[in-house]
């Protein structure tokens, strides 16, 4: 019977096996670490510290792709000198195609450079700024589901002259795990940022609503003033207000800020605050718009306010009206509907000018309906525009309805349907009751 032959293992082979087992344990440790945090900065720093240990290198780094600039930026660099690391993070960016990292980013392929001095792709720019000497480098693209996230690098193997194919294999395996963890962390970060922004917008919306009248209906003498506003987004560039500038007088103000979003909302808050400051004691709506116009003349370029200000006598229902670039007024008198386009001036905040005043007297049942352009510019999911004629016709059919502003707002909503709301909607009414 033949004796079994035992295969002997050299000390070198045994050492290599032990190293691979050690590397495997460290990789498993890294896997546990990257699964335990969703903080992107913490994740990258921990992984790079471990990568430096696993790969036995002098330094390692991760450059992330800035989607806005299209440049690679040093997010983390682990090395001997923290001052050099700070220089990289603050002052060095890499274009796709530039240097080793740029080549890897552009081609989305891993790269081993054993001797940087003989590779024309190596620029040495980071070395010149930091004083570090890069002899050899492995660079690997970090790829996510949506494309390139960044580039990971390890520099200068320790205790040996060259990197091996095994080094590249291990580093690629590590980077594949890192890519999944980074994508999860980035998604988590974006979700938190989106949630924070939504909370801030909700707060801004709450604050902005506080600038509007406490109640949507204001009754004074023979007059009934009412209003409704629907923001297109969280915050609005539309505004309206009721006022009593003098005893036995009632004022109705409606305005529309150019633009949308937070900037329009801030301008809206400024405009309505200034209006309330100036309106006390002024019986001339044209004079009030003139003051407000001068106050808003220092607004950012391209921002302006279209508006109407009407002051009515609570006893006689006589009305004085001033207009600054705003759409026509829908007049309902004795059941008949017509458009009133008083002589006016340009929107506020554009140029220094006077604002003429028009006068009229309301009889019982007469109504003045004022709207912002979000009412008649509303579009449905087919891209069709509602139009001013349709709004006027709807007012005609519902001229005797008690809550006409709310009905018009409902009509606009029904027309828009499931389409995205492109502009704020505001409707106000000045009505002579008896």
Q: What is the CATH number of the domain that holds 28?
A: 3.30.450.40
Please tell me which residue, 122 or 56, carries the higher pLDDT value: 122
In a domain, 280, yes or no: yes
Mean of pLDDT values over 61-78 = 88
The residue out of 187, 218, 247 marking a domain boundary is: 187
What distance, in Å, lies between the first and last C-alpha atoms of the chain? 125
The verdict on residue 232 lying in a domain is: yes
Is residue 27 in a domain?
Answer: yes
Task: Among 160, 187, 214, identify where a domain stops.
Answer: 187
Same domain, 174 and 228: no
Q: Do 183 and 208 belong to one domain?
A: no
Tell me what the mean pLDDT of segment 220-243 comes to. Answer: 88
**Shared-domain flag, residues 174 and 244:** no
For residue 311, is pLDDT > 50? yes
Q: What is the CATH number of the domain that holds 222?
A: 3.60.40.10
Distance CA 422, CA 434 (A): 38
Whether the CB-CB separation of 139 and 104 falls below 8 Å is answered with: yes
Which residue do the tokens 């209006």 mark?
275
The predicted pLDDT at position 334 comes to 84
Q: For the purposes of burial, counting CB atoms within 10 Å of the CB of 312, is it exposed (0-12), middle (13-18) or buried (19 or more)?
A: buried
Q: Calculate the average pLDDT of the chain.
A: 85
Angle subtended by helix axes 11-34 and 40-55, to nearest 10: 180
Stretch 78-89: mean pLDDT: 71
Domain count, the chain: 2
CA–CA dist 117, 115 (Å, integer): 5
Cβ atoms within 10 Å, residue 116: 20
Query: Band of the pLDDT at 236, cuts 50, 70, 90?
Result: confident
Note whether 434 and 222 are within 8 A (CB): yes
> In the structure, what pLDDT confidence band is assigned to residue 54 with cuts at 50, 70 and 90?
confident
Cβ(314)–Cβ(250) under 8 Å? yes
Same domain, 223 and 140: no
Judge whether 390 lies within some domain.
yes
The pLDDT tens digits of the residues spanning 212-223 come to 888 889 999 999
* pLDDT, tens digit (0-9, with 9 covering 90-100), for 319-364: 999 999 999 999 999 879 999 999 999 999 999 999 999 999 999 9
User: Which pLDDT score is estimated for 307?
Assistant: 96
Radius of gyration of the chain (CA): 35
pLDDT reading at 3 higher than 60: no
| Residue ranges making up the domain that contains 213 | 203-432
> Are residue 168 and residue 20 in the same domain, yes or no?
yes
Average pLDDT over residues 218-235: 88
How would residue 6 be classed by pLDDT, with cut points 50, 70 and 90? Answer: very low
Q: What percent of the chain is modeled with pLDDT above 90?
A: 50
Same domain, 80 and 214: no
**Domain match, 285 and 257 both:** yes
How far is Cα 208 from Cα 198, in angstroms, rounded to an integer? 15
d(CA 303, CA 420): 23
Same structural domain, 180 and 213? no
pLDDT-wise least confident of 107-121, 177-191, 387-401? 177-191
The upper half-sphere exposure of residue 34, i.e. CA atoms within 13 Å in the direction of its Cβ, equals 26
The reported pLDDT for the residue numbered 1 is 45
Is residue 11 in a domain? no
104-160 pLDDT per residue, tens: 999 999 999 999 999 999 999 888 888 889 999 999 999 988 889 899 999 999 988
Q: Are residues 169 and 286 in the same domain?
A: no
Q: Looking at 156, 187, 218, which one is the last position of a domain?
A: 187
Within a domain: 198: no
Let me know whether 207 and 183 are in one domain.
no
pLDDT above 60: residue 5: no
Pair 180, 211 in one domain: no
Residue 62 lies in a domain: yes
Instruction: For residue 369, list its beta bridge partners.
Output: 330, 429
How many Å apart are CA 306 and CA 349, to the nearest integer?
Answer: 9
């Amino acid at each position: 019977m033949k004796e079994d032959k035992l295969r002997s293992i050299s000390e070198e082979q045994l050492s290599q096996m032990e190293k691979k087992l050690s590397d495997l344990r460290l990789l498993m440790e890294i896997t546990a670490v990257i699964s335990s945090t969703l903080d992107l900065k913490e994740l990258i720093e921990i992984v790079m510290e471990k990568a430096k240990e696993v790969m036995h290198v002098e330094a390692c780094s991760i450059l992330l792709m800035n989607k806005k600039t299209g440049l690679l930026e040093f997010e983390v660099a682990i090395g001997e000198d923290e001052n050099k690391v700070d220089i990289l993070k603050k002052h060095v960016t890499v274009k796709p195609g530039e240097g080793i990292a740029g080549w890897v980013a552009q081609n989305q392929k891993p790269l081993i450079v054993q001797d940087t001095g003989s590779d024309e792709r190596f620029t040495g720019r980071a070395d010149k700024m930091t004083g570090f000497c890069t002899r050899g480098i492995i660079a690997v693209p970090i790829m996510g589901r949506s494309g390139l996230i960044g580039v990971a690098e390890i520099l200068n193997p320790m205790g040996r002259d060259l990197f091996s194919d095994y080094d590249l294999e291990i580093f690629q395996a590590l980077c594949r795990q890192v890519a999944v963890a980074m994508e999860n962390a980035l998604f988590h970060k974006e979700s938190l940022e989106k949630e924070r922004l939504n909370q801030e917008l909700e707060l801004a919306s709450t604050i902005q609503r506080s600038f509007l009248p406490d109640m949507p209906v204001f009754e004074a003498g023979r007059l009934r003033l009412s209003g409704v506003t629907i923001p297109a987004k969280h915050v609005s560039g539309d505004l309206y207000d009721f006022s009593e500038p003098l005893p036995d007088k009632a004022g109705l103000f409606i305005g529309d800020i150019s633009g949308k979003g937070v900037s329009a909302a801030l301008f809206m808050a400024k405009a309505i605050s200034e209006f309330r400051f100036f309106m006390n004691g002024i019986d001339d709506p044209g004079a009030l718009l003139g003051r407000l116009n001068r106050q808003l003349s220092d607004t950012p370029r391209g921002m302006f306010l279209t508006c109407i200000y009407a002051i009515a006598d609570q006893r006689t229902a006589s009305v004085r009206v001033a207009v600054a670039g705003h759409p026509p007024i829908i007049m309902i008198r004795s059941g008949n509907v017509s458009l009133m386009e008083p002589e006016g001036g340009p929107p506020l905040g554009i140029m220094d000018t006077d604002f003429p005043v028009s006068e009229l007297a309301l009889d019982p049942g007469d109504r003045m309906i004022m709207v912002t352009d979000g009412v008649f510019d509303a579009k449905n999911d087919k891209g069709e525009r509602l139009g001013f004629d349709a709004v006027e016709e709807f007012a005609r059919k519902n001229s005797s309805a008690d809550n006409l502003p709310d009905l018009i707002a409902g009509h606009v909503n029904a027309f828009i349907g499931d389409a995205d709301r492109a502009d704020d909607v505001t409707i106000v009414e000045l009505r002579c009751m008896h």
